[in-house]
């Protein structure tokens, strides 16, 4: 998956120096790009919330280097957590565990848990290994403004944060620790961006809560590339759906990952007819299809398998969002469990727009 990705050591050194100085650094992971800050520097973590426009009480995932010490970050770690780490790290699985007392409140949104993950992208691994000599943790939500579609390329991150992004020259200067200190204090809300190509998985990590294992068993807070069956194969227990008392996960807000253009999902069977009715009413539609033939307006096709579809999904939503259409219509993918992560993200993208197709069809 990652053999061909070039790791620019100078950029990694600059990124690590910026993080150590308390500055934000966006970096590629195999799922989506993250907006990183030193997890043990509450001011730096606060800058993430400010940059994203995200509520302060939402916890962020702490990203660790491959040989990090789990016991430094978490406590009461169940055997199942260690089995899953062995099986899936580095990789797209986040574990929610009881947080160690010295881990700042800022990363956990005041909860008594911490989300930990070791990403597999070579640029992320290089950054995490360089930062504090591999002993630090990088708090990183997806590198998008709150509620927006997650970024899967460095350009998506630049599109989200515009003028806040440090130039290559500013990044290079930051390789010297003193300059990084200066950049951090003088720059206000700025961020460095490391480029690592397109994120291979394309949707956010699977989040599994193991913090209440003894009483509630493993709980799946967010579906992703690693399926509940794969988890069950390792720990012998199938994760259950979240209950009322489960730790909060902002990726589980109903409306999330949404483009500005309204999004509606239609089954393959109803697609052609509805598209022609919308067209007859002068509505411009951008289509994201996987099996249906191309339509009159802007149309993108994603692969008919869940892995390929997830890889292309967020870029497709961004592209179609820029077409200035009245509506993005997504041909609903299959419903079987291998499509769970994809369908979860699509449902959230369409959440705020329910009833819009009907409203357009009723209008003259
Ligand atoms: O793939 C990913 O997980 C990406 C990349 C950058 O690693 N990160 C990501 O972060 O999606 P974010 O902040 O957009 O979503 C993280 C989710 C949120 O829903 C957050 O509430 C949840 O993880 N989370 C983090 N720590 C938690 C905790 N202690 N308890 C419950 N949920 C937690
Ligand atoms: Mg996010």
- DSSP string covering 231-297: HHHHHS-PPBPP-TTSPP-GGGSSS-S--SS-EEEE-HHHHHHHHHHHHHTT--EEEEESSSPP-SS
pLDDT at position 179: 66
Query: Ligand 1, atom 3: nearest CA belongs to which residue?
Result: 205
**Pick among 1.10.10.10, 3.40.50.2020, 3.40.640.10, 3.90.870.10: CATH of 9-193:** 3.90.870.10
What distance in angstroms lies between residue 273's CA and the mean position of ligand 1's atoms? Answer: 39
Nearest bound ligand to the CA of residue 29: 1
Task: Determine the distance separating the centroid of ligand 2 and the alpha carbon of 141, expressed in angstroms.
Answer: 6
Q: Is 31 in the pocket of ligand 1 (CB under 6 A)?
A: yes
Q: What is the pLDDT of residues 249-267, one digit of tens each?
A: 555 556 567 899 999 999 9
Q: How far is the CA of 91 from the centre of ligand 2 (A)?
A: 17
pLDDT tens sequence across 215-231: 999 999 999 999 999 99
- SS3 for 191? strand
Q: Determine the residue of 24, 98, 115 to mutate for testing ligand 1's pocket, defined as the one with the most ligand atoms within 8 A of the Cβ atom.
A: 115
Helix 122-130 vs helix 9-20: angle between axes, to the nearest 10 degrees? 50
pLDDT tier, 47 (very low <50, low <70, confident <90, very high otherwise): very high
Going by alpha carbons, the residue nearest to atom 10 of ligand 1 is 141
Q: Which atom of ligand 1 is nearest to the CA of 108?
A: 29
Report pLDDT digits (tens) over 278-327.
999 999 999 999 998 888 889 999 999 999 999 999 999 999 999 999 99
Q: What pLDDT is stored for residue 2 in this prediction?
A: 46
Could you tell me if the CB of 111 is within 6 A of ligand 1?
Answer: yes
Taking the model in full, what pTM does it have?
A: 0.94
The first and second tokens of residue 102, run together, are 């010295």
Instruction: Outline which parts of the chain fall under CATH 3.90.870.10.
Output: 9-193
Cβ(226) – ligand 1 distance below 6 Å: no
What confidence score (pLDDT) does residue 183 get? 63
pLDDT in tens, 49-66: 999 998 877 899 999 999
Residue 351 near residue 254, CB atoms below 8 Å: yes
The total number of residues shown for the chain amounts to: 364
Pocket of ligand 1 contains residue 148 by CB under 6 Å: no
The answer to whether 286 touches 325, Cβ cutoff 8 Å, is yes
Residues with CB under 5 A from ligand 2 (ion): 142
Q: What is the pLDDT of residues 89-139, one digit of tens each?
A: 999 999 999 999 999 998 988 889 999 999 999 999 999 999 999 999 999
**Smallest CA separation from ligand 1 atom 13, residue:** 141
Task: Among 204, 209, 345, name the best residue to mutate to test ligand 1's pocket (greatest count of ligand atoms within 8 A of Cβ).
Answer: 204
Site to substitute for ligand 1 among 35, 61, 243, 257, most atoms within 8 A of C-beta: 61
| E runs forming strands in 52-202 | 61-63, 74-75, 93-99, 113-117, 138-139, 191-193
Q: How far is the CA of 84 from the centre of ligand 1 (A)?
A: 17
CA of 324 to the centre of ligand 1 (A): 31
Q: Is 59 touching ligand 1 by the criterion CB < 6 Å?
A: yes
106 C-beta closer than 6 A to ligand 1: no
58 CA distance to ligand 1 centroid (A)?
9
For domain 263-362, the CATH architecture is 3-Layer(aba) Sandwich (3.40)
Ranges for all domains in the chain classified under CATH 3.40.50.11030: 263-362
Q: What is the DSSP letter of 92?
A: S
Q: Give yes or no for residue 39 CB within 6 A of ligand 1.
A: no
pLDDT in tens, 139-196: 999 999 988 999 999 999 999 999 999 998 888 887 676 666 666 665 568 999 999 9
CA distance 314 to 149: 6
Which whole number is the average pLDDT over 23-43? 97
Q: Show the DSSP H helices in 53-121 as ranges.
A: 70-73, 79-88, 105-108
Sheet holding 285-289, edge to edge: 263-266, 327-331, 285-289, 299-301
């Amino acid at each position: 998956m990652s053999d061909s990705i070039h790791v620019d050591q100078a950029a990694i050194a600059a990124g690590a120096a910026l993080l150590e100085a308390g500055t934000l650094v966006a970096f590629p992971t195999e799922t989506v790009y993250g907006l990183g800050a030193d997890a043990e520097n509450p001011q730096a973590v606060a800058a993430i919330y400010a940059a994203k426009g995200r509520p302060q009480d939402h916890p962020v995932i702490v990203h660790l280097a491959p040989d990090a010490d789990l016991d430094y970050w978490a406590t009461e770690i169940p055997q199942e957590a260690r089995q899953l780490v062995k099986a899936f790290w580095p990789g797209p699985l986040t574990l929610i565990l009881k947080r160690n007392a010295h881990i700042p409140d800022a990363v956990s949104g005041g909860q008594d848990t911490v989300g930990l993950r070791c990403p597999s992208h070579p640029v992320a691994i290089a950054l995490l290994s360089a930062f504090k000599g591999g002993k630090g943790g990088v708090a990183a939500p997806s590198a998008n403004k709150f509620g927006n579609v997650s970024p899967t390329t460095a350009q998506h991150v630049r599109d989200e944060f515009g003028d806040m992004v440090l130039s290559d020259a500013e990044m290079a200067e930051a390789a010297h620790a003193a300059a990084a200190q200066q950049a951090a204090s003088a720059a206000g809300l700025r961020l460095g961006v490391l480029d690592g190509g397109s994120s291979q998985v394309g949707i956010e990590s699977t989040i599994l809560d193991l913090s209440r294992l003894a009483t509630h068993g493993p709980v799946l807070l967010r579906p992703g590339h690693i399926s509940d069956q794969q988890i069950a194969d390792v720990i012998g227990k199938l994760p259950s759906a979240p209950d009322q008392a489960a730790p909060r996960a902002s990726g589980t807000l109903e409306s999330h990952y949404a483009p500005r253009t309204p999004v509606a999902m239609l089954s393959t069977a109803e697609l052609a007819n509805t598209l022609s009715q919308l067209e007859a009413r002068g509505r411009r539609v951008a289509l994201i299809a996987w099996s249906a033939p191309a339509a009159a307006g802007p149309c993108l096709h994603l692969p008919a398998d869940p892995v390929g579809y997830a890889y292309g999904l967020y870029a497709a939503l961004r592209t179609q969002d820029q077409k200035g259409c009245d509506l993005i219509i997504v041909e609903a993918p299959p419903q079987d469990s291998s499509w769970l992560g994809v369908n979860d993200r699509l449902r959230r993208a369409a959440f705020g727009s329910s009833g819009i197709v009907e409203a357009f069809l009723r209008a003259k």
